């Protein structure tokens, strides 16, 4: 089997999906709640209303960071390299149990479940490069990982 060079599978927009969009949504939540707090009331909102809006924004960004912790992922030879921007781990394809994808939720996400927990837990999620209008076919990145897992699971031919 030929050796693959390190090649990134995750989207170059991962930092945008991971940090910028949740922050913008949180800011939007603050603005909306602040505006709603002013409806039907003279003058400015009460301090408690502003604190509530900020609390909602904090909760939204925390939830976004917990639920959608997109990783950066590469293929390098016979293993998957996974990074959370602080730590990087190497996972052999034989340690992958399942590869799942989203079809109708964009941007496309791939969830990889492992046989054993890793530094990042039992599974990781990453965003694949854009396929915004393609709902019909399987994700090529997920299919490639599935093929490599199948090859890693095959017993080695005896020489």
Distance CA(141)–CA(3), nearest Å, equals: 18
Same domain, 112 and 41: no
List pLDDT tens digits, range 27-77: 777 776 667 666 556 666 667 776 777 777 777 767 666 656 789 999 998
CA angle centred on 93, ends 76 and 13, rounded to 5°: 55
**Does 38 fall in a domain?**
yes
Same domain, 77 and 90: yes
**Does 9 fall in a domain?**
no
Distance CA(33)–CA(54), nearest Å, equals: 9
CATH number at residue 137: 2.30.29.210
Of 44, 67, 90, which residue sits at a domain end? Answer: 67
The pLDDT of residue 16 is above 70: yes
Same domain, 42 and 108: no
Distance CA(101)–CA(125), nearest Å, equals: 9
pLDDT-derived band at 159, boundaries 50, 70, 90: very low
**Does 86 fall in a domain?**
yes
List pLDDT tens digits, range 114-155: 999 999 999 999 988 876 666 667 788 999 999 999 998 876
Same domain, 108 and 74: yes
DSSP 8-state symbol, 137: S
Q: Is the pTM of this model over 0.95?
A: no
Same domain, 76 and 115: yes
Structural domains in the chain (count): 2
* Phi, psi dihedral angles at 79 (to 5 degrees): -145, 165
Domain membership of residue 96 as a residue range: 70-153
């Amino acid at each position: 089997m030929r050796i693959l060079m390190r090649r990134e599978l995750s989207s170059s927009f991962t930092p945008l999906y991971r940090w910028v969009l949740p922050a913008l949504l949180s800011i939007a939540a603050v603005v909306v709640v602040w505006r709603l707090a002013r409806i039907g009331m003279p003058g400015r909102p009460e301090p408690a209303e502003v604190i509530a809006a900020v609390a909602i924004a904090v909760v939204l960004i925390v939830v976004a960071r917990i639920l959608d912790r997109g990783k950066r992922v590469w293929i390098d030879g016979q293993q998957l390299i996974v990074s959370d921007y602080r730590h990087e781990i190497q996972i052999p394809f034989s340690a992958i149990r399942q590869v799942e994808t989203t079809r109708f939720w964009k941007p496309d996400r791939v969830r990889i479940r492992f046989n054993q927990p890793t530094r990042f837990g039992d599974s990781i999620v990453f965003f694949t490069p854009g396929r915004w209008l393609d709902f019909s076919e399987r994700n090529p990145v997920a299919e490639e990982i599935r093929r490599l897992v199948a090859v890693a699971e095959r017993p080695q031919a005896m020489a």
